[in-house]
Amino acid sequence: MSARRIALCLLLTLVCASVSGCGDNIDWAAKGATDEEYPVEYYSLGEAVYEDSCASCHGAGGSGSFGPQLRGKGHKYSYEDQRTLIERGRRSMPGFASSLSSTEIDALLAYIRVGFFVNDAE
């Protein structure tokens, strides 16, 4: 193999590695809860809202199904970014700004960022 071909192979390998690095193959769930604190009553309200509005696509406890798994995603999105995503939706994810109250969305964020893991400990 010529030096040129070897260089080309190396380059292609690097490009492939960096492209797959862009895909979300991070184990978010292993990162657990964020260190935020929420009023304790938000977890049960958030869980009820989640089961009504989100579990059909994101699975029980955020395990994922049609939509991506949500456990540990508080480390992928800031509170504000995650809230905006839930309010506005994105691609095949519907927005919830008009169907949920702002208290329900507060509680939902508490549940998906921390509550998934609080419930695990019980």
User: Is the separation of the CB atoms in 57 and 67 below 8 Å?
Assistant: yes
Q: Is 43 in the site for ligand HEC (CB under 6 A)?
A: no
> What track of x and - describes contact with ligand HEC for positions 98 through 117 (by CB under 6 A)?
----------x---x-----
118: nearest Cα among 38, 60, 64, 57: 38
Of 14-22, 29-37, 39-47, 62-70, which segment contacts ligand HEC by CB under 6 A?
Answer: 62-70
User: Is the separation of the CB atoms in 89 and 96 below 8 Å?
Assistant: yes
Of 13-21, 34-42, 51-59, 114-122, which segment contacts ligand HEC by CB under 6 A?
Answer: 51-59
Exposed e or buried b per residue across 107-118, where buried means at least 16 C-beta atoms within 10 angstroms of its C-beta:
bbbbbbbbbbbe
What minimum distance in Å lies between the beta carbon of 20 and ligand HEC? 17
How does DSSP classify residue 93? B
Q: Which residues bind ligand HEC (CB under 6 A)?
A: 53-54, 56-58, 66-68, 70, 73, 76, 82, 85-86, 90-94, 96, 108, 112
